[in-house]
Amino acid sequence: MPADMTMSPDLSLLVWAIGLCFVQMLVSVLLVLPQVGLPALAGNREGLPAFTGMAGRAIRAHRNMIENLVLFAALVLVAAVTGSANEMTALGAQLFFWARLVYAVVYLVGVPWLRTGVWAVSVVGLVLIFLQLI
């Protein structure tokens, strides 16, 4: 990046959110591996059993992150391109990222109601960004 350009807090948190999503993918693979073995994961993955315990929760948390990351990325990129990024979008990005980090841990250890509450905080972050764009 040229010396005169800096990344906005929103875009920095988008990069960190992508990193979090990547880590969640790795964690889910590592937890699934003992349940089915490497040959099954390296194959076409047809007929795999339902994953249980922490492995199943890791997969579901990762899928949920992917679903939410699409929305977050779109909002942050629109804010950046249109010059709408401001303190409120930065706050929304912070709420989203930190809530998603906590969500990943809470889902992995299996705390249902807390997981839902933390997810709601991440949605508030998305709404804050969205409101700056309309």
Query: pLDDT tens digits for 68-77?
Result: 999 999 999 9
Domain ranges of the chain: 9-133
Supply the pTM of this predicted model: 0.90
CA 94 to CA 68: how far, in whole Å? 14
Using an 8 Å Cβ cutoff, are 93 and 68 in contact?
no
Look up residue 101 and give its two tokens: 């980090």
pLDDT over 90, % of the chain:
79
The yes/no answer on whether domain 9-133 falls in CATH 1.20.120.550 is yes
Residue 29 — very low, low, confident or very high, per pLDDT cuts 50/70/90?
A: very high
Burial of 49 (0-12, 13-18, 19+ CB in 10 A): exposed
**17 has a pLDDT exceeding 90:** yes
Tens digit of each residue's pLDDT (9 = 90 or more) over 108-134: 999 989 999 999 999 999 999 999 999
Look up residue 15 and give its two tokens: 């990069």
Q: How far is CA 114 from the centre of its chain?
A: 17
Give ∠ CA 76-82-83 in degrees, rounded to 5. 85
Burial of 50 (0-12, 13-18, 19+ CB in 10 A): exposed
Name the nearest CA neighbour of 31 among 47, 46, 53. Answer: 53
